[in-house]
Amino acid sequence: MTVILELRQVSAAYGLIPVLRSIDLVVGRGEITALLGANGAGKTTIMRAICQIMVKTTGEIRFAGERIDSKATEDIVRLGVAHVPDGRGTFVGLTVEENLRMGSYTRHDRDGVANDLVLVCEYFPRLRERWRQQAGTLSGGEQQMLAIARALMLRPKLLLLDEPSFGLAPIVVKDIFGILHAINKHEGISMLLVEQNARMALSIAARAYVIEIGEIVLAGSAAQIGAEEAVRRVYLGY
Amino acid sequence: MQALLHQVFSGLATGGIYASMALALVMIYRSTHHVNFAQGELAMFSTYLAWILLQTGFPYWVAFLVTLAVSFAIGVMIERLVVRPVENQPVLVVVIVFIGLLVIINSLAGWFFGYTPKVFPSPFADHAWYANTYLSSHEVGMIAVTLLLLVMIFSFFRFTSLGLAMRATAQNPLSSRLVGVRVGRMLAIGWGLAAVVGAVAGMMAAPVVYLDPNMMSGILLYAFAGALMGGIDNPWGAVMGGFIVGVLENLAGAYVVGTELKLSVALVIIVGVLVVRPLGMFGGRGASRV
Amino acid sequence: MNVGDRLGLSGGSPTAGQSAIWRIGAPLLVLVLASFLPVLVTGYVLFQFTLVVIYAIALLGLNILTGYNGQISLGHGAFYAIGAYTVAILLDKTSVPYWLAIPIAAAVCLLAGFLFGIPALRLQGLYLALATFALAVAIPQLLKFHGVEAWTGGVQGITVSRTQPPSNLPIDPDQWLYILSLGIAVLMFAIGWNFLRGPPGRTIMAIRDHPIAAAALGIHVARYKAITFGISAMYTGVAGALGALAAQFVSPDSFSFFLSISLLVGVVVGGLASLSGAIFGAMFIVYIPNLADEISKAAPWAIYGAVLIGCMYAMPRGIAGLLQAIKRWLLMSRRSPQGSPQGPGRR
Give the contacts of C78 (CB within 8 A, at least 6 positions apart).
Answer: C132, C135, C136, C138, C139, C255, C260
pLDDT top residue among B129 and A167: A167
Phi, psi values for residue C19, rounded to 5°: -70, 165
pLDDT digits (tens, 9 = 90+) for C203-232: 999 988 888 888 888 888 888 999 999 999
Tens digits of residue pLDDT in B177-205:
999 999 999 999 999 999 999 999 999 99
So what's the pLDDT on residue C340? 46
* Closest-CA residue to C234 (of C277, C184, C270, C269): C184
φ/ψ of residue B3, rounded to 5 = -60, -40
Do residues C66 and C194 lie in contact, with contact meaning Cβ atoms separated by under 8 Å?
no
Question: Other C-beta atoms within 10 Å of C274: how many?
Answer: 27
pLDDT category at C345 given cuts 50, 70, 90 is: very low
Chains that touch C (3 or more CB pairs under 8 A): A, B
* Mean pLDDT rounded to a whole number for chain A: 90
Q: What is the dihedral of CA B85, B87, B91, B94, to 10 degrees?
A: 40
Asked if B186 is an interface residue toward chain A (Cβ–Cβ < 8 A), one would say no
User: What would the pLDDT profile of A18-42 be if each residue is shown by its tens digit?
Assistant: 899 999 999 999 999 999 988 778 8
Q: Does A134 touch chain B (CB under 8 A)?
A: yes
* pLDDT computed for residue C339 by the predictor: 46
8 Å CB contact of C347 and A43: yes
Q: Pairing state of beta strands C249-250 and C158-159?
A: antiparallel
Between CA A153 and CA A101 the distance in angstroms is 8
Cβ distance B180 to A78 less than 8 Å, yes or no, reads: yes
Q: What is the band of B289 on the pLDDT scale with cuts at 50, 70, 90?
A: very low
Greater model confidence, C21 or C1: C21
pLDDT-derived band of residue B259, with 50, 70 and 90 as boundaries? Answer: low
User: Which pLDDT belongs to residue C6?
Assistant: 61
A233 Cβ contact list (under 8 Å, min separation 6): none
pLDDT of residue C238: 96
Provide the residue type at C331 as one letter: L
What's the rounded Cα separation, in Å, for the pair C59 and C39? Answer: 26
Torsion sign (Cα): B270, B272, B276, B279: positive
The whole-angstrom distance between A86's CA and the closest CA on chain B is: 11
Q: What is the pLDDT of residues A136-153, one digit of tens each?
A: 999 988 999 999 999 999
Touching partners of B (3+ C-beta pairs < 8 Å): A, C
d(CA B280, CA B278): 6
CB contact under 8 A, C346 and A86: no
Judge whether C346 is closer than 8 Å to chain A, CB to CB.
Answer: yes
A213 shares contact with chain C (CB less than 8 Å): no
Over residues B167-185, the mean pLDDT reads 93
Which has the closest alpha carbon to C239: C138, C109, C48? C109
A188: pLDDT strictly greater than 60: yes
* CB B257 within 8 Å of CB B211: no
Q: How far is A20 from chain B (nearest CA, A)?
A: 22
Chain B: residue whose CA lies nearest to A98: B164
Q: Can you give chain C as a three-state secondary structure string?
A: CCHHHHHCCCCCCCCCCCCHHHHHHHHHHHHHHHHHHHHHCCHHHHHHHHHHHHHHHHHHHHHHHHCCCCCCCCCHHHHHHHHHHHHHHHHHHCCCCHHHHHHHHHHHHHHHHHHHHHHHCCCCHHHHHHHHHHHHHHHHHHHHCHHHHHHHCHHHCEECCCCCCCCCCCCCHHHHHHHHHHHHHHHHHHHHHHHHHCHHHHHHHHHHHCHHHHHHCCCCHHHHHHHHHHHHHHHHHHHHHHHHHHHCEECHHHHCHHHHHHHHHHHHHHCCCCHHHHHHHHHHHHHHHHHHHHHCCCCHHHHHHHHHHHHHHHCCCHHHHHHHHHHHHHHHHHCCCCCCCCCCCCC
The answer to whether the CB atoms of B270 and C313 lie below 8 A apart is no
Question: What percent of chain B has a predicted confidence (pLDDT) above 90?
Answer: 52
Q: How far is CA B19 from CA B130, B235, B272, in A?
A: 21, 9, 20
Give residue C343's pLDDT band: very low, low, confident or very high (50, 70, 90): very low
Q: Chains near A, with 3+ CB pairs < 8 A?
A: B, C
- Does the pLDDT value for residue C147 go beyond 90? no
Over residues C64-75, the pLDDT tens digits come to 999 999 888 989
Distance CA C85, CA C66 (A): 24
Q: C-chain residues within 8 Å CB-CB of A41?
A: 347
Residues B149, B200 contacting (CB under 8 angstroms): yes
Interface of B with A in 143-182 (CB under 8 A): 161, 164-165, 167-168, 171-172, 174-182
pLDDT in tens, C269-299: 999 988 999 999 999 999 998 888 888 887 8
Question: Using the beta-carbon criterion (under 8 Å), do C346 and A43 form an inter-chain contact?
Answer: no
Is the CB of residue A111 less than 8 Å from the CB of residue A70? no
pLDDT of residue A237: 63
Q: Is the Cβ pair C142, B271 closer than 8 Å?
A: no
Give whole-number Cα distances, A207 to A162, A223, B68, B211, C54, in Å: 16, 8, 58, 71, 69
For position C19, what pLDDT does the model report? 61
8 Å CB contact between C101 and C88: no
CB–CB of B135/B149 below 8 Å?
A: no
Q: Is residue A53 less than 8 Å (CB to CB) from chain B?
A: yes
Among the partner residues B165, B182, B287, nearest to A136 by beta-carbon distance: B287
pLDDT at B6 over 90: no
A44 → chain C, closest CA residue: C347
Chosen from B96, B224, B270 to mutate, greatest number of chain C CBs within 10 A: B96
Backbone angles phi, psi at A88, to 5 degrees: 75, -45
Q: How many CA atoms lie within 13 A of C245 on its CB side?
A: 30
For residue A56, list its beta bridge partners. A13
Q: State how far the Cα of C203 lies from the Cα of C192, in Å rounded to an integer.
A: 14
Question: Distance between CA B290 and CA A136 in Å, rounded?
Answer: 11
Average pLDDT, chain C: 85
Residues forming a β-bridge with A60: A8
Would you say C104 and C173 are in contact if contact means Cβ atoms under 8 Å apart? no
The torsion angle over the Cα atoms of residues A89, A121, A139 and B171, rounded to 10 degrees, is 30
Cβ pairs A/B, distance under 8 A: 69
> Residue C4: which pLDDT band, with cuts at 50, 70 and 90?
low
How far away is chain A from the Cα of C347, in angstroms, using its nearest Cα?
4
- Mean pLDDT, to the nearest integer, of B46-70? 94
Asked if B290 reaches chain A (Cβ–Cβ under 8 Å), the answer is no
The pLDDT value recorded for residue A238 is 58
C338/B55: higher pLDDT = B55
Interface residue A57 vs chain C (CB under 8 A): no
What is the rounded CA–CA span in Å between residue A190 and residue B235?
43
A114 close to B (CB below 8 A): no
Amino acid identity of residue A52, one-letter, is Q
Chain B residues in contact with A74 (beta carbon < 8 A): 177, 180-183
- Model confidence at B101: pLDDT above 90: yes
Taking CB atoms and an 8 Å cut-off, how many pairs form between chains B and C? 131
Question: Which of A16, A211, A212 has the most C C-beta neighbours within 10 Å, making it the best mutation to test the interface with C?
Answer: A16
DSSP SS3 for A105: coil
> Which residues partner with A13 through β-bridges?
A18, A56
Å from C37 to nearest chain A CA? 44
Instruction: Please report residues of A whose CB lies closer than 8 A to that of B171.
Output: 91-94
Asked if C347 lies within 8 A of A17 by C-beta distance, the reply is: no
The reply to whether residue A17 touches residue C343, judged by beta carbons under 8 angstroms, is yes
ipTM of model: 0.90
